[in-house]
Amino acid sequence: MNPRGEQYVQDLLKTEGLDALLFFGLPSIRYLCGFTGSDGVLMVTEKESIFLTDSRYQRQAEDQVSTNKVKCYKNKFSDVVDKLCGKMLNRVGFDADHLTVSAYEELSSLSNGKICWCPISSQLRSLRASKDTPELAALKKAAALNRAAFEEVLPQIKPDVTERAIALELEFALKRLGGECNAFDFIVASGDRGALPHGVASEKLLKNGELVTIDFGTRVDGYYSDETVTLALGPVDGKLRQIFDIVLKAHDLALASIKPGMEIRQLDAVARDYITAQGYGDYFGHGLGHGVGLEVHEYPAVSPRADALVEEGMVITIEPGIYLPGTGGVRIEDTVVVTAEGYEALTSIPKQFYQIDPA
Ligand code: ZN
Ligand code: ZN
């Protein structure tokens, strides 16, 4: 077991008065014990850790997993309940954000009143929030692939090419360079489609005079990159240039304000208050950012509703945007790690205004 994760879980067993804690969510299972397959349950007690999986993954789990024991199940939930009952473990927590209602009902009915099931949710949210050196190394590699792929594809970003073609070229370059998979369906949103914060690449052709927003990322050793650039195709009108400059300034102000110990909602407010003061507050509808790690969107959400503090080692995005329906939009996103003094950027594509001129 990962020592930091193990300590976190042991502390939780004590504070929650649990005999065992079950993990069903794959990112936390991977974080805690190293398993990279698609099905399994991790059971942690004060004395031991057991990883249970199905027969497809037995060999893989024996090679990968750092728990005391690896067991194979035939029927996932009844075998888990049998194991808990056999060990007289009565008060059992589970990662409630990763268990469906029907699975919970099945566990409850199989245990027939012998187990007290305790949903654990917010108590687990910061388990993976602060990244250690090997995690940061993977995140940096993933971010470096973004830049290398972007530089390769940049000459192909020109009028009369479809958004989808750009997304495909980025995907191909990232995978050829070593990326494991796409972080999400890439966003390539040009012209008035730029007003869609999640405008997945379409068959629309790029045109001169448009802004193009490209949001993309990959995965290395399980860890994601996430970055957004907005480019100009030829000269753009003054309104678009104005919102670009406002978003870039909001992005820069937020980055410069990052300090461990500040409220996350205050970090969001730095960018949001600036955009609002420029008259565009109604056009920045989403949170400023999110945590990135074994999931591309993970704790903490950087939003006006966040109730936690910025901590050293957190990896978060800073991604303000302005979206004007019928006109276009701008988003600029970097992924950074919080350091003792402020932050270190992981993503590195330059974000200043960049105009692609026709050849
Ligand atoms: Zn993104
Ligand atoms: Zn993002």
- DSSP assignment letter at 204: P
Q: How far is the CA of 44 from the centre of ligand 2 (A)?
A: 32
Taking the centre of ligand 2 as the mean of its atom positions, its distance from the CA of residue 3, in whole angstroms, is 29
Q: Going by C-beta distance under 8 Å and a sequence separation of 6 or more, which residues neighbour residue 282?
A: none
226 Cα–ligand 1 center, Å: 5
Alpha-helix runs per DSSP H in 122-263: 133-153, 163-176, 238-257
Distance 121 CA to ligand 2 centre (A): 23
Q: Which ligand is nearest to the CA of 183?
A: 1
Task: Single out the residue of 174, 176, 204, 210 nearest to residue 191, CA to CA.
Answer: 210
Average pLDDT for the chain: 96
Could you tell me which of 195, 191, 210, 193 has the C-alpha nearest to residue 280? 195
Rounded Cα gap, residues 276 and 299, in angstroms = 26
Check whether 198 has a pLDDT greater than 90: no
Q: State in Å: Cα 135 to ligand 2 middle.
A: 18
Q: Any idea of the CA torsion for 322, 202, 352, 245, to the nearest 10 degrees?
A: -20
Residue 36 CA to ligand 2 centre (angstroms): 23
Model confidence pLDDT, tens digit, residues 291-341: 999 999 999 999 999 999 999 999 999 999 999 999 999 999 999 999 999
Q: Which ligand is nearest to the CA of 218?
A: 1
Say what percent of the chain tops pLDDT 90.
Answer: 97
pLDDT at position 76: 93
User: Which runs of consecutive H residues, i.e. helices, occur in 75-213?
Assistant: 76-86, 101-111, 133-153, 163-176
Q: Please name each of the domains of the chain with its CATH number.
A: 3-124 (3.40.350.10), 133-356 (3.90.230.10)
pLDDT at 277: 98
What contacts 189, CB < 8 A, 6 or more positions away?
163, 195, 196, 199, 201, 212, 213, 329
Q: Write out pLDDT tens, residues 19-78.
A: 999 999 999 999 999 999 999 999 999 999 999 999 999 999 999 998 889 999 999 999
Is the pLDDT assigned to residue 214 strictly greater than 90?
Answer: yes
